[in-house]
């Protein structure tokens, strides 16, 4: 059993003893702790309002009831938007002028996981500092339930995904007409979650012919839901079979998006943000922010366009914080997460799709294989490493520091080692699973594979 608590919220596997997994008790404790934090953060109010949404997981509809009851018992009014996406909850918090919001989702984790993503009154994820305050409140159980005559209300609001999409379509750099004129034919893999609702609605508003795959939001994922190449073999075959212009896949809560080329090749999750940044920099030069685990291709693009580039620790909250500091025009992560501040400070697959299709349509409906050739071609290896019981992350990082002494290093988030020719190695603890993540990027696949084997050997053999 697993329970992970980080700046990405809480998430865990289902079942097991108290405190060892994501159970009803954890839902009640953490939602109560969140409300206690909210009341301390936004003081002197007679009433508090929270927006609640859920992804399509089989357990989300059950766990949603625990959240509603807990919020009402704490005297908080609930606007329940039902089946939704994480960015839609953020939009709803802003529209409803709510004090916060909660999304029931474990994001890209498998179907035996679930979790809570928590928002502040600006429709953004809680800061690292605020998350720590919530965790402290939960640990000390500083909860205060109300009497029967002060219970919160529960209202259901339909069609918030439509409202979210309408907001996206009103953005100046989303060109609805040029997308409609392109007459795209697109295959969509909705992973049987809420992307199967939201993405087709968006595309139909843009005049796209949609071919659906796994768009019934019953939550029984047909493949691993993380939108990376090895999990998307079926859509990669389907796109050329259907003679579609491209394919689109999202994660279960629709804050990450990846694209499939017309010939079935994977466009690459790292190049989602690269291509959208290319489009935006063609309209306005401004700072770009991503994470230290993201491809160097984004930095190259920024430099070539005359824009400042900044990197942060991995995690949406870190990217957003830096974006606000430098007034970035676009930011995100190399996992397909796009943050467009003209809409909201948070990853949003739907706005990413709208901006990407505008970019492709304005380039005379360029094929995605040709589009990718516009950008620096790096090769990245991404590995998950499960540690044995006697292995410690700190010791592994210290050994790597000694092994690569004299190299340029960044120790802000694990250890990132810079080699020659824009090669780099990054080892860090995951924010969403109890694992280490190893990312390595180089100028050729052969070189990337060599470095990956080398580092894995060094980590395993302590030399």
Q: Which residues are known to be catalytic?
A: 107
| Vertex 282: Cα angle to 289 and 287 (nearest 5) | 20
Q: 199-210 as b/e, with b when 16 or more CB fall inside 10 Å?
A: bbbbbebbebeb
Contacting residues for 236 by C-beta, under 8 A, at least 6 apart: 229, 247, 260, 264, 265, 266
- Residue 248 phi, psi dihedral angles, 5° rounding: -130, 130
Q: 298-318 as b/e, with b when 16 or more CB fall inside 10 Å?
A: bbbbbeebebebbbbbbbbbb
274: DSSP letter: H
Whole-number Cα distances in Å, 328 to 8, 272, 332, 338, 347:
21, 17, 11, 12, 14
CA distance 436 to 316: 18
CA distance 438 to 171: 37
230: DSSP letter: G
Q: Which pair of structure tokens corresponds to residue 421? A: 């020719």
The interaxial angle of helices 128-140 and 24-41, nearest 10 deg, is: 120
Beta strands in 181-226 (DSSP E): 185-189, 209-213
Q: Which pair of structure tokens corresponds to residue 336? A: 């397909």
Phi-psi region of 279 (alpha: psi -120 to 50; beta: other; left: phi over 0): alpha
């Amino acid at each position: 059993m697993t329970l992970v608590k980080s700046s990405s919220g809480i998430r865990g596997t289902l079942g097991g003893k108290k405190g060892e997994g994501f159970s009803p008790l954890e839902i009640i404790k953490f939602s109560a702790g969140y409300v206690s934090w909210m009341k301390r953060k936004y003081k002197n109010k007679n009433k508090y309002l929270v927006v609640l949404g859920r992804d399509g997981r089989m357990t989300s509809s059950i766990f949603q009831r625990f959240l509603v009851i807990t919020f009402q018992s704490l005297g908080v009014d609930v606007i329940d938007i039902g089946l939704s996406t994480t960015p839609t909850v953020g939009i709803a918090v802003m529209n409803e002028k709510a004090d916060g919001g909660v999304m029931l989702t474990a994001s890209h984790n498998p179907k035996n996981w679930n979790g809570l993503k928590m928002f502040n009154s600006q429709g953004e994820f809680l800061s690292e500092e605020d998350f720590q305050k919530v965790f402290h409140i939960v640990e000390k159980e500083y909860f205060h339930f109300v009497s029967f005559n002060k219970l919160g209300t529960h209202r259901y609001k339909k069609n918030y995904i439509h409202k979210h999409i309408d907001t996206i379509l009103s953005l100046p750099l989303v060109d609805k007409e040029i997308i409609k004129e392109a007459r795209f034919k697109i295959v969509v893999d909705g992973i049987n979650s809420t992307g199967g609702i939201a993405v087709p609605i968006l595309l139909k508003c843009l005049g796209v012919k949609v071919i659906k795959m796994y768009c019934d939001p019953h939550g029984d994922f047909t493949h691993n839901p993380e939108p990376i190449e090895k999990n998307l073999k079926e859509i990669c075959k389907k796109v050329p079979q259907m003679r579609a212009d491209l394919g689109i896949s999202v994660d279960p809560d629709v804050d990450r998006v990846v694209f499939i080329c017309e010939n079935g090749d994977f466009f690459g999750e790292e190049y989602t943000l690269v291509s959208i940044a290319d489009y935006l920099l063609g309209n306005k030069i401004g700072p770009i922010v991503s994470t230290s685990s993201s491809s160097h291709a984004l930095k190259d693009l920024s430099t070539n366009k005359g824009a400042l580039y900044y990197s942060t620790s991995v995690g949406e909250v870190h990217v957003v914080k830096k974006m606000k500091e430098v007034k970035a025009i676009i930011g995100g992560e190399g996992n397909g997460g796009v943050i467009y501040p003209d809409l909201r400070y948070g990853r949003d697959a739907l706005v990413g799709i709208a901006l990407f299709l505008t970019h492709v349509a304005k380039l005379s409906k360029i094929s995605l294989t040709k589009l990718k050739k516009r950008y620096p071609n790096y090769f990245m290896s991404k590995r998950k490493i499960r540690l044995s019981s006697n292995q410690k992350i700190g010791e592994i990082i210290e050994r790597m520091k000694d092994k690569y002494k004299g190299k340029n290093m960044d120790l802000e988030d694990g250890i990132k080692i810079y080699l020659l020719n824009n090669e780099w190695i990054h080892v860090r603890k995951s924010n969403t699973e109890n694992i280490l993540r190893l990312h390595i990027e180089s100028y050729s696949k052969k070189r990337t594979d060599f470095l990956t084997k080398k580092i894995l050997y060094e980590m395993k053999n302590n030399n």
